[in-house]
Amino acid sequence: MVNMATHLPVGIVLLLSVLIANTNGDNIYRLCVTNRVNVLNRCQTVKRGDSQVECVPVADSVDCALKMQQGDADFGVFTAEEALLASDFIDKSVRVVADIRHVERSTDPFAFEAVAVVKNTYGGTLNSLKGSNFCHPGFAPGGLWTDSVLKHFERFVVSTPCEKSLSVVEQEIKALSHFFKSACRPGPWVQDDMFDNRLKMNYSNLCELCDSPKTCSYASHESGSHRAALTCLTHRGGDVAYVALRYLRQYFGLESGFTAMAEMNDFKILCPDGSTEPLDNPSPCAWVQQPWSGVLARRDIANTLQPLLLSWLVNQPIDLPAWQEALWDLMMEPDHIISSVSSLLSNFVRQIGGETRQACSGSVKWCTVEKTEKQKCEWLKAAVQTHGIQPSIDCVEAKSNFECWGHVRDGIANIVTVDTEYGYIVRKSFNLSPLAYLDSGLNANYQILAIINSSDKQIKSWQNIRQKKACFPEFGGLAWISTVATLIENRQLARMCPHAAAMGSFFGGACAPGAKDIEHTRGSGVVPAKLCSVCSTHNSSDSCSTTSSSVYYGDLGALRCLANGFGNIAFVDYRQLQGSNGRLAQDIDPSAYRVLCRNGSLAQSVGLNVDNNCALSYGVGSEIVARADRSETRNTELTELLLEMDQWFGSTSPSKMDSVFHMYSEFQGTKDLLFKDATRGLVLPNDVGYSYVNDYKKLQDINSVCVKTRNSGVAIIPSIIVLIAVFISPFVI
């Protein structure tokens, strides 16, 4: 749940922390802040003079919570949502020492309260609302109420029967449609536009009370508003509305300076137990009570820090020392004040707990590799729960990527992120298919090049490659399938299935690490031994393996295979030869190489820097996959979960709470856990406007010509292609 207009500006700062003692004996309190505009200058200022504060950079509230738990940070400002998420992990490590309230509402115990309002003719139990007309404030992209708040009333009142033929989202909407006679539930119900339109068409009664039923919106605001929901109740035939208490009081003239828009005595507040109270009750029953943003401090310094904070963050920040002004700017928001609080974190957030009802199909089991990735997954799981996103997530740990893919294939797990280096393998050997591709920008995408020694005068086209020795990073990887596709495109490779046989016939020898491994070669038929013949010349028993001890494994290994004279041509991902700074490793001399382009011509000059037209292929760097035989309902459910996660925790989230958790960021100092850190967002398989995705999909399509038979598991190609191949190819299929 989120703090409404009164929560801290996450665009400036998240958190603070304290260091108890430094080497000269002074107390230094470390300030934990996000990397936002103007933060650096303020952090420099906050150390000046007699300040006892310094900044510690954090990625988000999760990062700060972990730093506090590990003793690397000591206190910070958390919104209620952030505090609720942290309470699952660091409750015993911290205490709440203060909260931060709007100056005009300093006596309000909560940042907001959500209430239900009914006509005064209401009587009976909550079930008597069946057949009534419901007015909802609406779902807005980047809104301050999460699904946990927005759906709390309807999830409490309306039971959802289990229909496995429907996604969990549609199950809830269908139940609402059957429970209420009509409603206005404006804004996007789901993140996928086509799915959203279909839901609103099938359950159109949930838009009938809107000013514009066709667009399912109030006239005042496309995505809805609390005032519009109250107008729906008082003037458009509504029977019950779910709104914030503050707006209720303003609408009925119960706050000073506001004129009543309807007669107060015609309505009453509905309580969760089915009883009612008058609108002017000073402390009415509420369905959700959201605390103000709180200052969390490490337990062992909480008592020392609390009085210092109150003295530093004075409520009239005038003529303060420069460091105190900087501190105030980092922690506070205009027109807000700090108040002393002493509470356990669990007590502070107990009234807002984020409930998530179990979906019919159960939770989505995300496969992780090793401990740290599972820890990040557990934080993501908690964030999904606190935001009320359905379905919930569980985390499954495996020892390796291959074991993870096997878990998804076997139903032990449901979903996993895969580097597209292994996209062909997970499709061929594990029967997985994409849910979404990760848009990570140009530098994170792959670019496969065919590289020869610049001194080689014999190779001038693809015809000259036949019976030459080739170096590959990995059997079945991007370089491998790009070579297959390019040779087919240039009419050099027989359309034999499996492709491994054709590649073995085309090249005079090769080093393709993994060619002896069953996990790499499942579905590839009998793999010719010559695909490891070049590796073995290195006189190493595991030279064709995919272990770190294999000197020719990986893109650098393939280039090393060429440089050492064991191969005539190497196929590599150019991006993998570059460091994080975009530069080649120091031991790579680009002038020693030349690129053979996709069309069979040599690059105009020596070196490795060529455009995508010369590359064998280029495309997106990673994808999220699930079982290929999943039902359409399950596919919709998994896709909507990913889109909701991207909406709230992605790198371009419009949410005012985008500091809660960044799922595309490094975690505990480790990069690329669950997702690539460079990820900007998701691209769905039916999105056609992304050339990097389209090229990758085309590459997979060319290599998927071979399919498995039901009985033997041996790969074959469609019969018409087989007949053609018999006549045009010297090879036997």
Q: What's the token pair of residue 643?
A: 């889109």
Where is the binding site for hydrogencarbonate, in residues? 479
pLDDT for 513 equals: 95
Helix axes of 632-649 and 168-179: crossing angle, nearest 10 degrees: 90
Res. 338 pLDDT band, cuts 50 70 90: very high
CB under 8 Å to 643, separation ≥6 — which residues?
Answer: 190, 191, 192, 682
Where is the binding site, in residues? 419, 446, 479
Least confident span in 79-83, 461-465, 484-488: 79-83
Q: Whole-angstrom Cα distance, residue 239 to residue 267?
A: 10
Res. 333 pLDDT band, cuts 50 70 90: confident
For the chain, how long is the longest CA-to-CA vector? 94
Amino acid occupying residue 625:
V
For the segment 260-272, the average pLDDT, to the nearest whole number, is: 95
Least confident span in 309-318, 323-332, 506-515, 654-663: 654-663
CB under 8 Å to 78, separation ≥6 — which residues?
Answer: 14, 15, 61, 86, 293, 294, 295, 296
Q: What's the token pair of residue 275?
A: 């009883």
pLDDT for 319 equals: 82
Tell whether the model's pLDDT for residue 708 goes beyond 50: no
What are residue 420's phi and psi, to 5 degrees? -65, -10
Where is the binding site for Fe(3+), in residues? 419, 446
For the segment 77-82, the average pLDDT, to the nearest whole number, is: 90
What mean pLDDT value characterizes the chain?
Answer: 87
Are 53 and 45 spatial neighbours (Cβ–Cβ below 8 Å)? Answer: no
Q: Whole-angstrom Cα distance, residue 25 to residue 22?
A: 5
Q: What is the pTM of this model?
A: 0.86
pLDDT for 40 equals: 81
Residue 616, beta-bridge partner list: none
SS3 387: coil
Among 498, 442, 444, 423, smallest CA distance to 701 is for: 423
pLDDT digits (tens, 9 = 90+) for 25-53: 368 898 888 876 568 888 999 999 899 99
Tell whether the model's pLDDT for residue 11 goes beyond 50: no
SS3 242: strand
Q: How many alpha carbons lie under 13 Å from residue 9 in its C-beta half-sphere?
A: 14
Alpha-helical (H) ranges within 16-114 are 39-45, 61-70, 80-90
Tell whether the model's pLDDT for residue 716 goes beyond 70: no
- Which domains are seen in the chain, by residue range? 29-108+292-350 (3.40.190.10), 112-289 (3.40.190.10), 364-442+620-687 (3.40.190.10), 446-613 (3.40.190.10)
Tell whether the model's pLDDT for residue 632 goes beyond 80: yes
Q: Which residue has the higher pLDDT, 558 or 583?
A: 558
pLDDT for 592 equals: 95
Res. 637 pLDDT band, cuts 50 70 90: very high
Tell whether the model's pLDDT for residue 688 goes beyond 90: no
